[in-house]
Amino acid sequence: MNTPRFSVVIPIHNAEDSLISTVESVLEQSEPNFELLLLDDGSTDGSLAIMRALAAHDRRIHVRTQRNAGVSATRNLGVRLARGLFVAFLDADDVWHRDKLATHWQFHLDRPQVRCSYAKIAFLQNDEPGLRDARTHSTVPAGRLSLAQILGENPVCTSSNLVIDRECFERIGGFRTDMQYAEDQEWLARAVDAGLAVVGLDELLVGYRMSPTGLSSDLEAMYDGWKRLVADYRAQFEHAAAQALYCRYLARRALRSGASSRQALRFAMAGLCASPQTFCDDLRRGLLTLAGAMASPVMSSRLRTRLFA
């Protein structure tokens, strides 16, 4: 049996509303040499039936079920089952550009020393059907990511953005199963701390669906997970600066996702108090975020979402 270039790992728990479009974004890839692992993590909706119907029409799709064990355990299971040279993770409510895998493959061919890569993300609102329609994109810094960058605003943002040499992933170890939030950020910190080169592509390849009811919208839990994570690396970076950047990121996320205005203001003030200089180092992100958080009580959630999407 030939080794596929990529193993695409999708952990699934009650994702019947978004699963088909997510899987279609994989099946429509211009790079066809992949296997697609659909891993059901104890869904109680129609997700499993959708998975089996999709697998019946494409031999590259493999379905595996388990009792609910959490997203980290499910991703780790996917890597254990994977045969590809690279593992690419995708959440069941996100989508890829059709050239996602092809672009990463060429990137790694040209840079064999890079074993982990990511790309630019489009933050998709409900009224934005495609990546090119998104009003807001992430930024990709030049060169290798540092520990401080990962523990600050984390340009990778989501595991749906990660492409990793499978042998390197196995050597670093899997995602921590005792963390519900920041588990992908923790893996990146561990990888960079071990010397792995994590480098970004300045290409828009991932669509991240924003939802006030999604797992990542629990911003308080994300902040708690971040504080737990940085405790392991406090001696290796400037904590106040990283806190300022991460709180700024959470404040912007609260503004764009329709979370409460009180929550947006609290994160903005926490970041500003931690390090005013770092919080405002990017005037657009810093001052605009602060102004938006202060004005958010008199804005409708729809207006805040459109301004900070």
pLDDT of residue 302: 63
299, pLDDT greater than 70: no
User: At the topology level of CATH, where does 6-209 sit?
Assistant: Spore Coat Polysaccharide Biosynthesis Protein SpsA; Chain A (3.90.550)
Mean pLDDT of 29-46: 97
199, pLDDT greater than 70: yes
215, pLDDT greater than 50: no
In the chain, CATH 3.90.550.10 sits at: 6-209
8, pLDDT greater than 80: yes
Mean pLDDT of 221-232: 86
pLDDT in tens, 264-281: 888 989 898 989 888 888
Residue 16: pLDDT band (50, 70, 90) is very high
Better-predicted residue by pLDDT, 3 or 260: 3
Mean pLDDT of 227-235: 82
pLDDT of residue 277: 87
Percentage of the chain lying above the pLDDT 90 cut: 58
4, pLDDT greater than 70: yes
212, pLDDT greater than 70: no
309, pLDDT greater than 60: no
Q: For the chain, what is the mean pLDDT?
A: 89
Which of these, 52, 58, 118, lies nearest to 86 by C-alpha position? 118
Residue 74: pLDDT band (50, 70, 90) is very high
pLDDT in tens, 78-98: 999 999 999 999 999 999 999
Token output for 168: 């390197």
- From 51-65, 108-122, 143-157, 208-222, the region with the lowest mean pLDDT: 208-222
